Amino acid sequence: MHSRISKTDEGWSNAQEDRIDLVSPDPSWPEQYEKEANSLAGALTDFDGLRLEHFGSTAVPHLRAKPIIDILLLHPTPALWPQLIEPITSVGYVYWAENPRRDRMFFVKGMPPFGTRRTHHVHVRMPQDGERELAFRDLLRVDAVLAREYEHLKDSLARRHPTDRDAYTDGKSAFISQALGRRFV
Mean pLDDT of the chain: 88
Each domain of the chain, given as residue ranges in start order, spans: 7-184
Listed as own residue / partner, the contacts of 34-40 with beta carbons closer than 8 Å and 24 or more positions apart are 36/69, 36/71, 36/120, 37/71, 39/91, 40/71, 40/73, 40/88, 40/91, 40/122
Taking only the tens place, the pLDDT of each residue in 35-74 is: 999 999 999 999 999 999 999 999 999 999 999 999 999 9
The model's pTM: 0.86
Q: Rounded to an integer, what is the distance from CA 52 to the centroid of its chain?
A: 12
Cβ-based neighbours of 39, under 8 Å, separated by 6 or more: 91
Taking only the tens place, the pLDDT of each residue in 114-160 is: 777 889 999 999 999 999 999 999 999 999 999 999 999 999 999 99
**Topology (CATH) of 7-184:** Beta Polymerase; domain 2 (3.30.460)
What is the C-alpha radius of gyration for the chain, rounded to an integer number of angstroms? Answer: 16
